[in-house]
Structure 1
Amino acid sequence: MKNSTANILIVDDNVDNLNVLAGMLAEQNYKVRRAINGSIALRAIKASIPDLILLDIVLPDMTGYDICTQLKQHPSTQDIPVIFISSLNDTEDKVKAFAVGGVDYVSKPFEMAEVCARIRNQLEIQFAKAEIESLNAELEQRVQERTAELTAVTVTLEKQIQERQKAEQALRHSESRFRAMIENASDLILLLDPQGIVHYSSPSVERNLGYLPTDLQGQSLVHLLHPQDQSSITQLLAEVLATPSKVAVPLEIRWQHQAGHWCTLEAMAQQFSDTTGFSGIVVNARDITERQKMEAMQRALEQEQELSELKLRFFSMASHEFRTPLSVILMAAQILGSSESQSLDNKQQRNIERIHTSAQYLKKMLADILDIARLEAQKREFNPRPVCVKTMCDRILDTQQTSHGGIPRIRCAYTGLSAEIALDPDLFQSILNNLLANALKYSAPEQLVQVKLTQELDQIELMIIDQGIGIPKASQSQLFEAFHRGDNVGEIEGSGLGLAIVKKCVDLHGGHLSFVSEASGTTFTVRLPIQTNRHQADPLIRQTVA
């Protein structure tokens, strides 16, 4: 009997419990009967023996113990599993329930899932017992029949039969082991006749290529392969037939998966023959598609790493070569602006200021290019240490304020900051400088920029809120790519490197960077995990940007 069609009798004087249990079991597709007292329950059992009984202990006319005792005294009902379900939770009550023949005990209030699990467990036990008894009876019958046959034969025939049985058993075990190895092998095994027709394919063909073994039987192996491989595979199969049987010939073939894509198989082929008279070729093949992809990815990664190294060397050299003339230009502009300011007219003074501003801009761009090159080449290590974040932020904010004419445009709020927090100060400074510089640059001079820094349990959160020009939807997906700038920046100067540097620094810190932008402003949110003392003390624990 299947568990889902089992007949269950519920005996409980509480109608609510009765209805709840009956409804729950009916949803599990059990056939459910109900009884509100012991007399009704005994009549119901006599009318039709249930597969399992859920029995309350406290009933109006008799106890559940009495009912269970009566059931166990009759051969027709003694094997019915009885699960007591009661609000009596004393150990003595539970011991007595098992003593009178109960198989399980569920305390009220009960969990539906627990009741279902216990019922299912007992039904499975009953089903297994019935099946074992049936098998035992069948086995006993077979033993008796076989014994009668063996008794009728002579001693010589008995000896011959025993020897033959041993040989057959050894053969079956050998065949079973061989079949198990073939059917469970991850590699694909094919048997081909001399014309290359598939006579057998192992079940692994379904796992590797999506075909059933019967789909390939009678097919030409060559016609199943990539058109560009067919000629060379035909020649190799001919070479296998001309090679001594114990010498394997390596093959690499492309086979189309049933889903449509091509798989590359690494194979060994050699001559094969068996006792049935079959002779041909056995092919043992392994799917190396993923391995080839990984090797290709590794080569691409190595090439990318090499390119990043070259870029870093180039940018380092270029930065070094440009810094000297830029320094000369800046120094000359400062000398001109200070020593001859009295003799310069307004136009000349503005031109000197332009020279100074442009040279500073070029110097900043060179620094940004060198930073992004170092980050992309994974030459920037993550070095956290305890720092006073508030002091560092105040210094950065003062510098940004000064660089924008000293006009008070930045409003800052700190929440819950510790005296010192373990993070990488250089990375944090780069993050705050670039985000704040962008917020000020893309906002009008009269618009305020808010900086909010909050320390939580295991992270700090930095928010930069501006009221500037916002970021167009079309530009948001590429926002953190190097040299990318929004479509709405107009003539505002910029290199498109700031946010790319911020993203790399946040990733290197193991943090998270997000933003929300509308036409009236943008909010950038940076969350950085606070490093533990273990990370600070162990110099081997380092992270790099992937």
Structure 2
Amino acid sequence: MSKNSSHTLKGNILVVDDQPDNLRILSFMLREEGYQVRKALNGQMALTACQTLLPDVILLDIMMPDMDGYEVCQRLKASDKTCEVPVIFISALDDVVDKVKAFSVGGVDYITKPFQVEEVLARVANQLTIQQLYRQLTEQNTQLQKLNEELKRSNDELEQFAYIASHDLQSPLQAIVGYARIIEATYENHLDTDAKQYIANIVNAGWRMTQLIEDLLDYSRVGTCTEEFKPTDCKTVLEEVLANLDEEICASGASISYSDLPTVMGSSTQLMQVFQNLISNSIKFCRPEVPPQVEITAKAKKNDEWIVAVRDNGIGIETQHFERIFEVFQRLHSYKKYPGNGIGMSICKKIVERHGGRIWVESQPGVGTTFYFTIPAKI
């Protein structure tokens, strides 16, 4: 009994050589190591053997009658069934040209005769390890692709659910706030101070819930939007935003300045949301007794994209919060001091990424904050 006969077979090896002695020696040493071995005396037999049972590794001689090893390898690599099987050439040809040709036709390794047993076994084991790792990687990639598809489907369903739920919540919420105001107006003279405060609390909570629903709808619309991108003048977009924010700007005494802005391929509605969220934040998170100053600039980069910067002189952000502010529902301050639902920056991130860009922040507490976002310059 062979010393390894009780071992589990480690792989299926096809040995191709027109010399019976070589076949016998190679077969014996490989079987001793626990491999399953098949033999072929010529190229045609090798091709037939591969069709019958696909080997894990092929040891292939070059100098054979009728069909040499180069042609055998070329035929193997031309077939979808056998193209992934690693071929190790084993030949008495020792010229560099022969070795280069062996690799050019698809060989993965080259052993020169007379061969050393240890070298053959090491090279075979190496190719089997590579094959095993390749199969594992392929399987993992397939599983990962399936998981990604499931995750995308779940995200799409979640966005659709958020949109429908938020939309359907608007009517009953408006009814609650509306009836609370009717009670307040109709029974004003019959309500004590506590009752009036309770009604005010209902109205304020309703207003906050309305804002949350509107923010959720904005967030879900980004993912479900099917609007095609078209040439969009960022200067025109910004001017519309400033008109929308005119009341906030005047009330805060903010100063807004901007340089020439580019025309890009994008959604004017969504880019308006980005500018409006960034400028509103700059106004809201201002330092006490310091009028907000906001500067919007744009710079072209060599890789066909624009970098837009929105810079302010506000309270700033601690470095450890830079990533957190782009996560949905993440707030750094109390609602009473700085109202909001923590969705605005996540909307900006989602819109910028939908346009093929990225967004990040630089800030120094007590000095100010600059938000940067890129957008491809493709017109």
1:408 aligns with 2:220: no
Higher mean C-alpha deviation, range 494-503 or range 521-530: 521-530
- Residue-by-residue CA offset, 1:243-281 (whole Å, 9 max, x unaligned): xxxxxxxxxxx9645xxxxx547xxxxxxxxxxxxxxxx
1:396 aligns with 2:239: no
Distance in 1, matches of 2:166 and 2:335, equals 27
1:435 aligns with 2:278: yes
The percentage of aligned residue pairs carrying the same residue is 20
**Does structure 2 retain, via aligned residues, the 8 Å contact 1:374–1:380?**
no
Distance in 2, matches of 1:346 and 1:450, equals 42
Post-superposition offset of 1:503? 0.6
1:319 aligns with 2:162: no
Match of 2:207 in 1: 360
Change (3 A) 1:309 1:351: same
**Does structure 2 retain, via aligned residues, the 8 Å contact 1:460–1:527?**
yes
Post-superposition offset of 1:500? 1.2
Post-superposition offset of 1:344? 7.3
Change (3 A) 1:382 1:504: farther
Match of 2:51 in 1: none
Q: What's the TM-score once normalised by structure 1's chain length?
A: 0.43
Distance in 2, matches of 1:421 and 1:429, equals 13
Amino acid at match of 1:448: P
Change (3 A) 1:490 1:331: closer
Distance in 1, matches of 2:355 and 2:377, equals 9
**Does structure 2 retain, via aligned residues, the 8 Å contact 1:460–1:530?**
no
Match of 1:514 in 2: 360
Post-superposition offset of 1:310? 2.2
Post-superposition offset of 1:493? 4.9
Match of 1:474 in 2: 320
Match of 1:187 in 2: 85
Post-superposition offset of 1:433? 2.8
Change (3 A) 1:454 1:338: farther
Change (3 A) 1:504 1:391: same
1:450 aligns with 2:354: no
Change (3 A) 1:525 1:366: same
Distance in 2, matches of 1:445 and 1:341, equals 37
Change (3 A) 1:310 1:179: closer
Amino acid at match of 1:442: F
Amino acid at match of 2:205: S
Larger RCO, structure (CA 8 Å, separation 6 or more): 2
Match of 2:59 in 1: none
Post-superposition offset of 1:465? 1.3
1:177 aligns with 2:70: yes
- Segments of structure 2 that go 5 or more residues without pairing to the other structure are 1-62, 78-82, 90-105, 111-115
Where do 1:30-179 residues align within 5 Å? Answer: 174-178=67-71
**Does structure 2 retain, via aligned residues, the 8 Å contact 1:187–1:204?**
no
Where do 1:127-526 residues align within 5 Å? Answer: 174-178=67-71, 181=74, 187-189=85-87, 204=108, 215=119, 217=121, 256-257=129-130, 264=132, 287-335=134-182, 352-375=199-222, 377=223, 379-384=225-230, 386=232, 388-401=236-249, 407-416=251-260, 423-444=266-287, 446-454=289-297, 459=306, 461-468=308-315, 470-486=316-332, 492-520=338-366, 521-526=368-373
**Does structure 1 retain, via aligned residues, the 8 Å contact 2:296–2:310?**
yes
Post-superposition offset of 1:501? 0.9
**3-state SS, counterpart of residue 326 of structure 2:** coil
Aligned residues: 284
Distance in 2, matches of 1:489 and 1:444, equals 15
Amino acid at match of 1:477: E
**3-state SS, counterpart of residue 162 of structure 2:** helix
Post-superposition offset of 1:373? 3.6
Distance in 2, matches of 1:213 and 1:495, equals 71
